[in-house]
Amino acid sequence: MDSRSALKHQAILEAATTVFLTKGYSGTSMDDIAKLAAVSKQTVYKHFADKESLFAEIIHGGLDRIDELFSDVTGSLAETSDLERDLTALARQFVTILTRPRLLQLRRLVIAEADRFPDLGRTYYERGPERVHALLAGSLAELGRRGLLSRLGDDAVLAANHFTWLITSVPVNRVMFCGSQEGFAPEELDGYADAAVRVFLAAYR
Amino acid sequence: MDSRSALKHQAILEAATTVFLTKGYSGTSMDDIAKLAAVSKQTVYKHFADKESLFAEIIHGGLDRIDELFSDVTGSLAETSDLERDLTALARQFVTILTRPRLLQLRRLVIAEADRFPDLGRTYYERGPERVHALLAGSLAELGRRGLLSRLGDDAVLAANHFTWLITSVPVNRVMFCGSQEGFAPEELDGYADAAVRVFLAAYR
């Protein structure tokens, strides 16, 4: 792809993201996307075979960003010298990342379309929540071997799920039901994180 | 409303529920609903002013069923003579009710449309999750007064949220992302409930 074509490709993707996130899959037309990207509809079709491929590329792009966001976050936990401090820091990072408006809009969109595109929803689930939980479970299991956690049983993945849902369920579900205009003060989010760490450590330390 | 008219009203509501739950709000037309209810489109409009009113009535109907399902469930917990046993029974009831396919389809639909109809989404949130958590929080606070729970702080509602999301987050989110075809064996659901009770009691007993 030459650089002019690459720029157009990027402009179409950005326009399509905006339109899909605000109007949903059914409400979005290739015309809307072309208009917002300031290209012709033929140009859109030159880059993307159809609305479905464009939608899939956007979901995959969102997953790439989730990967970037979480790749470093869980890494150092297993080597902690102060479990409560580092788990609290991790919990606060998790809730801050996972309540970003753009990520929650993407979450809403995937959920809305999961019955129409179950493969895409499953990919999102596997590369998003499941991957984060697998990474975190690895760190928790290592903390178990170091004697800093116990009672993980043979299911560190379930413990990882308990950790992230304890932290994020209240704000994430409030946005899911009440709409993307819901916002949170950082202190409120930190409060959910800190309370979750208390519960988690009471159960697993 | 005479009985023939009442029957038609009910038939339209049932048809509309089926169509909305399978095709979403945008994908549903009053024609689809009339066809499935085996009435004319004029009859649909005689009963419901527009698609939006019909949609609102269906969401409210779903909430009435949630009310019925939970009204007895939490009531007796506060008088328990065996906290772990009764909390486990409650957790198993919660996860069984909250993973019913119809309720999860309704949940998906409300989430999908929350940015289009934020008032409806907020009503669902307040009469659904918030109401269940308030009921449960009342029982937890009473258990606190009886000395059977501690560390509830001044926020029994947060403890109630911890309880229900610990139980339901894994299966509910899996269905949200992977689609309504996901099913669960009763033993799997009981496993989530039992693990959640262990975590909850470690933190709050």
Helices A30-37 and A3-23, axial angle in degrees (round to 10): 130
Q: Which of B22, B169, B192 to mutate to test the interface with A (most CBs of A within 10 A)?
A: B169
- Residue B166: its chain A contacts at CB < 8 A? 162, 165-166
- Residue A158: its chain B contacts at CB < 8 A? 170, 195
In terms of pTM, does the model score above 0.95? no
The gap from C-alpha B77 to its chain's centroid, in whole angstroms, comes to 20
Residues B161, A178: C-beta atoms closer than 8 Å: no
Question: Could you give the ipTM of this predicted complex?
Answer: 0.91
Closest Cα in chain B, distance from residue A42 (Å): 26
pLDDT digits (tens, 9 = 90+) for A105-148: 999 999 999 988 999 999 999 999 999 999 999 999 999 999 99
At residue A133, the pLDDT reads 94
Q: Cα Rg for chain A, rounded, in angstroms?
A: 20
In whole angstroms, how far apart are CA B164 and each of A173, B157, B184? 12, 11, 18
Distance between CA A141 and CA A153 in Å, rounded?
10
* Angle, CA B28 vertex, CA B23 and CA B29 arms, to 5°: 155
- Cβ contacts below 8 Å, chain A against chain B, sum to 126
Mean pLDDT of chain B: 93
- Residue A132: its chain B contacts at CB < 8 A? none
Mean pLDDT of chain A: 93
Domains contained in chain A, CATH given? 1-48 (1.10.10.60), 52-204 (1.10.357.10)
- Shortest CB distance from B177 goes to which of A121, A174, A180? A121
pLDDT digits (tens, 9 = 90+) for B53-106: 999 999 988 888 888 778 777 778 999 999 999 999 999 999 999 999 989 999
At residue A70, the pLDDT reads 80
Residue A18 structure tokens: 């905006």
